[in-house]
Amino acid sequence: MQDPAQSARRERDAALAETASAAGACDTDSPSLQLEMQREMQREMQRQTALLRALFDPRPTCPPAAALGVDTTRLDWQAGLDAMRGNARSHAERALLAQFPTLLAMLGEAPMRALCVAYWRARPPRVGDLAGVGAEFPDYVGRLRRLRAWPWLRDSARLDWALWQLQYASAPRLDARHLQALATHDPARLRLRLAEGVALLDARWPVVSLWQLHRGAEPDSARLREALGEGPQCAWAWRGAEGTRCEPLGGAGRRWLRALQRGASVAAALRSAGPGWDFAAWLQRAVREGWLDGIEPCIA
């Protein structure tokens, strides 16, 4: 079905084209033309915001804002809006299932779909990009009374979301010149810049063990009980050549990476990690896995 606001957009575009045509060969730096363009951009932003509210408002009879610029009393508008709402809800549900595979494996498909619908109604999207629809899903799951018997779900959702976001990270830019600086400069005056495609997540539950157990076939119940008794875990996740990967960190590794995230120098980060931390082994793996974006000077 055609977008019921499409005709309004066509009229708007025609009016804008007419304005530009009337301007003829006028300088595009003309203050009056710039002002008109700014106003048109503001109107378009208002229209898009109003359309999102109309689509995502959980009340099916909620009237759209006047900024849409369409006759909302027409039957084809309401029919089109209902169709778009159903389509948007379906797309959001599929996006959430893809973004939270661990929760899907834990809960099963039917309960997970019901949870997605409830989340959609309680937290309607604020933007049209469904890649970010699950941003508030972990906190929503953690606040639901009916899920309190499974308190690890929130942390598992947080890890799922962190892993999902890694796919949008830029590729690391580390090169030989950066590594050479480690051999020629004082470590107190250098810092390691972590790549965008990494994530460090502190959790109250053994999220890495649970994530690993739910990646394949249905996990053994005895192994699940054993995993839940492992206690809190710090998850280190990254996007590798073969997809996203994740592993638990010990205390020294966590302290080291937290120091790097704070922008500490190499020397200060080594002190944070403590004695026994094998920097050479970590650096070799970091280069191989793409954990570093660069090495740069810093103020000691």
Q: Domain check: are 109 and 217 in the same one?
A: no
* Amino acid type, 268: A
| Backbone angles phi and psi of 245, in degrees to 5 | -135, 160
Q: How far is residue 5's CA from residue 21's CA, in Å, rounded to a whole number?
A: 24
Whichever domain contains 232, its CATH number is 3.90.930
Q: How far is residue 14's CA from residue 12's CA, in Å, rounded to a whole number?
A: 5
CA distances from 131 to 77, 84, 92, 99, 221 (A): 27, 18, 9, 8, 33
Looking at residue 9, its pLDDT comes to 52
Looking at residue 218, its pLDDT comes to 80
169: number of Cβ within 10 Å: 16
Q: Domain check: are 45 and 118 in the same one?
A: yes
3-state secondary structure of 278: coil
Q: Domain check: are 138 and 232 in the same one?
A: no
In a domain, 158, yes or no: no
Q: Domain check: are 106 and 232 in the same one?
A: no
pTM: 0.74
- Identify the domain boundary among 150, 176, 211: 150
In a domain, 155, yes or no: no
Looking at residue 130, its pLDDT comes to 78
Looking at residue 19, its pLDDT comes to 47
CA 262, chain centre distance (Å): 21
Looking at residue 8, its pLDDT comes to 47
Q: Domain check: are 133 and 185 in the same one?
A: no
Considering just the CA atoms, what is the radius of gyration of the chain in Å? 26
Q: Closest by alpha carbon to 14, among 69, 96, 86?
A: 69
Q: What is the DSSP annotation of 147-204?
A: GTT-TTHHHHHHHHHHHHHHTTSPPP---HHHHHHHHHS-GGGEEEEE-TTEEEEEES
CA 266, chain centre distance (Å): 29
- Identify the domain boundary among 90, 122, 150: 150
In a domain, 113, yes or no: yes
Q: Domain check: are 139 and 189 in the same one?
A: no
Per-residue pLDDT of the chain (300 residues; tens, 9 = 90+): 444 445 445 545 554 455 445 444 445 567 777 788 888 887 777 776 666 666 666 555 555 555 566 665 665 656 565 555 656 678 889 999 999 999 999 999 999 999 999 998 888 776 667 788 999 999 999 999 999 999 999 999 999 999 999 999 999 999 998 999 998 999 999 999 999 999 999 999 999 999 999 998 788 889 999 999 999 999 999 998 888 999 999 999 999 999 999 999 999 999 999 999 999 999 999 999 999 999 999 865
Q: Domain check: are 145 and 176 in the same one?
A: no
Q: How far is residue 198's CA from residue 169's CA, in Å, rounded to a whole number?
A: 8
Q: How far is residue 192's CA from residue 44's CA, in Å, rounded to a whole number?
A: 43
Q: How far is residue 185's CA from residue 230's CA, in Å, rounded to a whole number?
A: 42
Residues 168 and 131: beta-carbon distance below 8 Å: yes
| Backbone angles phi and psi of 232, in degrees to 5 | -60, 150
Q: How far is residue 298's CA from residue 136's CA, in Å, rounded to a whole number?
A: 35
Looking at residue 25, its pLDDT comes to 46
Q: How far is residue 140's CA from residue 34's CA, in Å, rounded to a whole number?
A: 44
Looking at residue 148, its pLDDT comes to 94
**Beta-bridge partner residues of 237:** 199, 246
Looking at residue 163, its pLDDT comes to 97
CA distances from 227 to 86, 230, 252, 256 (A): 39, 5, 22, 26
Looking at residue 45, its pLDDT comes to 74
CA distances from 270 to 265, 267, 275, 292 (A): 9, 5, 8, 16
Residues 186 and 289: beta-carbon distance below 8 Å: no
Classify the phi-psi angles of 94: left when phi > 0, otherwise alpha if psi is within -120 to 50, otherwise beta: alpha
* Domain span including residue 286: 166-297
In a domain, 159, yes or no: no
Looking at residue 263, its pLDDT comes to 95
